[in-house]
Amino acid sequence: MQRAAKCALRLDLSRAFCPSSVRNCPAINKVNDTVLCRRYSVLPPPRDKEEKAMLDSMLRVDHAGEYGANRIYAGQMAVLGRTQTGPLIQHMWDQEKMHLEKFDEILGEHRVRPTLLLPLWNIAGFALGACTALLGKEGAMACTVAVEESISEHYNSQIRTLMETDPERYTELLQLIKEFRDDEIEHHDTGLEHDAESVPGYFLLKTAIQAGCKAAIYISQRI
C-alpha cells in the first residue's frame, strides 16, 4: 500500500521535474502485466558495497544497451519508416522502448547512476541505424541481427553470473533479464528471416558492429 503510494508520488514528482524519464504508465500497463506493473522491487536490498557495485554496473550497462538499441531503431525508422519494412521495424522498436522504460524505472528506484556516455550512444546508435538502413532493408536487418546477437550474448553472461552467485536471491532480476533476452533473440531471428544475410559484406558488417557493441558494453560497465 505504501509502496503503491510511493510509486505514485514518485511518478508525480518525476513528471514534474524530469519529464524525460518515467512517462506514460498506462502505456506500460497495457503491454505486459506480469513484468512491468509489479509494485515490488526487482532487486533485493543490497547486502554490502560490493554487491551494490556489481548490481549497479550490470544495470548501468543494460540501461545503456537498451538506450542504444532504441536509438538504432530510431535511425532505421528515419530512413526506412515509410517503406514496407516500416511496420516491422516499428514493432521491434516498441518492444525496445518497453525495455528501456523498465530499466529507467529500476535505475531511478535503486539510485543507480546512468552511464556518462549516454549522449555518445545516442548519436552513435542513431548514426549506425541510419547508415545501415541506407544500405537497404537487408542492411537494416543485418544490423539488427548483429546487435541483437551481441545483446543476447551479454544478457546470457549476466544470467550466468547471477546464477553462479545466488539464483534464489536474484529470482526477479533473473526473470526480467531472461524475458528481455528472449525478446532480443526473437528480434535476431526476425532479422535473419528478412534476408539479413543477403546484404553484400554481411560478414564484415556483422563483425564490425559486434566489435563496436563489445567495446560499448565494456566501457559502459565502468563509466
- Residues making up the annotated binding site for Fe cation are 66, 96, 99, 148, 184, 187
Which of 62, 56, 43, 39 lies closest to 173, judged by CA?
43
- Contact between 57 and another protein per CB under 8 A: no
- Contact between 21 and another protein per CB under 8 A: yes
- Contact between 46 and another protein per CB under 8 A: no
Query: Which range in 17-25, 26-34, 153-161, 192-200 contacts another protein by CB under 8 A?
Result: 17-25
Q: Judged by CB under 8 A, which of 4, 17, 26, 84 binds another protein?
A: 17
Query: Which range in 15-23, 86-94, 124-132, 214-222 contacts another protein by CB under 8 A?
Result: 15-23
Q: Cell numbers 528506484 correspond to what residue? A: 109
- Contact between 49 and another protein per CB under 8 A: no
Alpha carbons 118 and 79: distance in angstroms, whole number: 22
- Contact between 26 and another protein per CB under 8 A: no
Alpha carbons 63 and 101: distance in angstroms, whole number: 9
Q: Judged by CB under 8 A, which of 4, 20, 34, 84 binds another protein?
A: 20
Alpha carbons 67 and 84: distance in angstroms, whole number: 25
Residue 210 Cβ, how far from another protein at the closest point, in Å? Answer: 26
Residue 169 Cβ, how far from another protein at the closest point, in Å? Answer: 19
- Contact between 123 and another protein per CB under 8 A: no
What string marks each residue from 81 to 120 as x (binds another protein by CB under 8 A) or -?
A: ----------------------xx--xxx-x-xx-x-xx-
> Interface residues with another protein (CB under 8 A)?
2, 5-6, 9-10, 13-14, 16-18, 20-22, 63, 103-104, 107-109, 111, 113-114, 116, 118-119
